[in-house]
Amino acid sequence: MDAGAPRLALIDWVERDGRAAHRLDVHAWPLTIGRALDNGIVLDDPYVAARHARLQTDAEGRLQLLALPGINGVRIGRRRLAPGQAVDVTGDGAVVQIGQSRLRVRLPGEALAAERPLQRGALVGPLLAGAALLAYSAVYIWIGLDPGADFSNWLPDLLELPIAVAVWCGLWALLSKVFQHRFDFNGHLRIALPWLLAFALFSDLWRELAAAVNAPRLWLLSQPIAQLLLAAMIHAHLRRLLPAYPRAVTAAVVALTLGGGLLSMALTYRSTDRLLAAPYMSTLPMPALRLAGTVPPEQLVQSMQPLAARLAERVRRAQVDDPDDDGD
């Protein structure tokens, strides 16, 4: 190619994080792509044929991508080209998938996205959330300690939260080093601190509120919503880790959330004969915070009558599953 000729296109080798690892200026068409050394773009990829594809212009001067004879074909966007098929390349960052290699074709007429501002001071909000989380944790520890407890009783619990956050963000930053070649600790810290604050407030206050207003159905929603909050935080981490694959990340998180929810319900059903744990088993309402009125004792006794039949059925099933060797 003549380096002095005008640039007709720019082709980027796209990494997994969406960034360009290498670039090639194109000054003439056609341009072949494959593993053979006489190609304009040589790909060291075992899933690519010797001559896999060709970028060429048609009679009207429009750029086309032609899939050459091969096993794996070519993908451009969501469309798969069989050998011999061609499609117009319109620019706007069109991504061509050849084997395991991804190439982005940029043309001179491509519309550019607006300049994005630098994220200056982006840690201020998350750090405030982290300070609120630490303060909330300290209050929670204070409620659980005996009056006049020594500072040594506070220290392990106060250090546990910062260490856990540092380890969590450090693991995500190590994954960022693998996938994005940068140690993105601050980026994942900005994600973790607000979500952890929301998770802590919800986990501790939701059931107390449900108990205070005597809303057992509201209490039953606590576990599914907590799982959704955790899934949303993981989704945010993965979206930052793999920005080029938003749909795959969302599909994976949805699948894992549904699978984890079904497994949790199965384990709960196995131990309690219920899909969700019975209300107030782990959170008893504080009498001073109870906002709902009381019920007569007769209503309580009447509501407990079906419990005898359910307990008898559980005893019968337990005897069938594990009969007494002595026959008693």
Q: What domains appear along the chain, each with residue ranges and CATH number?
A: 9-106 (2.60.200.20), 124-272 (no CATH)
Alpha-carbon separation of residue 72 from 46, 53, 55, 80, 222 (angstroms): 11, 11, 17, 10, 48
The answer for residues whose C-beta is within 8 angstroms of residue 68's C-beta and 6 or more apart is 32, 34, 49, 51, 52, 53, 54, 83
Per-residue confidence (pLDDT) for residue 166, from 0 to 100? 93
Segment-wise mean pLDDT, segments of 10 residues, the chain, 328 residues: 70 71 84 91 90 88 87 84 84 79 83 69 77 85 75 77 92 90 88 90 81 78 88 94 86 93 85 72 59 68 74 76 58
Residue type present at position 188:
H
How far, in Å, CA of 76 to CA of 55, rounded?
12
List alpha helices for the chain, DSSP H: 124-144, 151-180, 185-212, 216-220, 222-241, 246-272, 297-303, 305-321
Question: Tokens 């075992």, residue?
Answer: 46
Tell me the two tokens of residue 71.
């096993």
DSSP 159-228: HHHHHHHHHHHHHHHHHHHHHHSS--HHHHHHHHHHHHHHHHHHHHHHHHHHHHTT-HHHHHTHHHHHHH
Beta strand 31-34 with 41-42: parallel, antiparallel or unpaired? parallel
Task: Evaluate whether 173 touches 167 at the Cβ level (below 8 Å).
Answer: no
How far, in Å, CA of 148 to CA of 185, rounded?
38
Beta strand 20-26 with 74-76: parallel, antiparallel or unpaired? unpaired
Per-residue confidence (pLDDT) for residue 237, from 0 to 100? 94
* Residue 269 CA to its chain's centroid (Å): 27
Tell me the two tokens of residue 235.
């989704």
List alpha helices for 40-79, DSSP H: none
Beta strand 63-67 with 74-76: parallel, antiparallel or unpaired? unpaired
Task: Evaluate whether 322 touches 243 at the Cβ level (below 8 Å).
Answer: no
